[in-house]
Amino acid sequence: AEAPEIAVPITLTAGPERGALTAEVDVGGAKSSFDRTVIAHPHLPERTILRPATLDVVPVALDRGGVSRIGYLAGSGDEVGAGLRDLGYAVEPVDVGAARSGSLARYDAVILGIRAFNTRPELFAARGALLDYVARGGRVIVQYNTSPERAPLAPIGPSPLVVGRGRVTEQDAPMTPIDPSDPVVTSPNRLDAADYAGWVQERGLYFAETWDPAYRPVFRTSDTGEEPLEGSLLLARHGEGVFVYTGLAFFRQLPAGVPGAARLLANVLAIETGK
């Protein structure tokens, strides 16, 4: 028989520090505090993994800037959409058919998951509809894609950009705004050094290598001893809206509960448009 599901509402009191919630079950004096996960694949023996039933709780002082509804076009798999739901956004999955038909006007922004164009080549047929959505005042954020030498990435934005192999592997590498007054770092959340602290694993990967002057780079960053890179986050105005390409590793930071990365992404989602 399947185990019953029990929903337990929890009210948290806001505080400045991160913490953890632990679930414990007491059955006749026998206590258990483990999460049970069964891993079953056709080509492997079934395995059961027990892990502490603990949930991290991270306070984030975040202003969404009036943005609420996000369309998410999945790529090769990431948890950015789930992270945005945790931050209070209404995130809806979008399929390629809906994107091609132009059914995007109800969204404040549309995000493409990591390697979306690499893993779903049918997305190239939706590029025109995505750019039409931008031209009418929408926001499209494309997370990193790769561009193999033997099969360079076809155009994805409103103006030419070339995705390279640039990456910053030091998670605490300096993040220097090229223009400290850029709205991406000032509104609706004013970012400071604390927002670039506590990132995990890396700053980002597959940065843009070259781009048309229509794009505006936001940050300068590099590993120790390396030349500064400016292709981690690019914005281009297109009609009434904005197109964004970013190699910043939001797909690692949001699942890890990094507040500064969440605040930065909120600013990107809230870039002012003429809509």
In a domain, 181, yes or no: yes
CA-CA distance, 175 to 211, in Å (whole number)? 20
Return averaged pLDDT per consecutive 10 residues of the chain, 275 residues in all. Answer: 72 72 78 82 86 79 96 94 97 92 94 97 95 98 92 92 97 98 99 98 98 98 98 98 99 97 99 88
- Flag whether 195 is in a domain: yes
59 occurs within a structural domain: no
Residue 21 falls inside a structural domain: no
What is the structure's pLDDT at 197? 98
Beta strands in the chain (DSSP E): 19-22, 25-27, 30-32, 34-39, 47-52, 54-57, 69-73, 90-93, 109-112, 139-143, 161-163, 175-177, 208-211, 215-217, 219-221, 233-238, 241-246
Full domain range(s) for residue 160? 69-269
Q: How many domains does the chain have?
A: 1
Residues 171, 176, 182: CA angle, nearest 5 degrees: 125
Residue at token pair 């806001």: 14
Is there a domain that residue 106 lies in?
yes
- Which residues is 143 bridged to in the sheet? 246
* pLDDT at site 1: 53
**In the prediction, which pLDDT does 16 show?**
66
CATH number at residue 189: 3.40.50.880
Q: Tell me the pTM.
A: 0.90
Q: What pLDDT sits at residue 275?
A: 65
Residue 10 lies in a domain: no
Contact indicator for 236, 159 with CB cutoff of 8 Å: yes
What stretches of 101-249 show up as alpha helix (H) in DSSP?
116-119, 127-135, 183-186
Alpha helices for the chain (secondary structure H) = 80-86, 96-100, 116-119, 127-135, 183-186, 250-253, 259-269
* C-beta of residue 62 within 8 angstroms of C-beta of residue 266: yes
Q: Does residue 51 sit within a domain?
A: no
Does some domain include residue 261?
yes
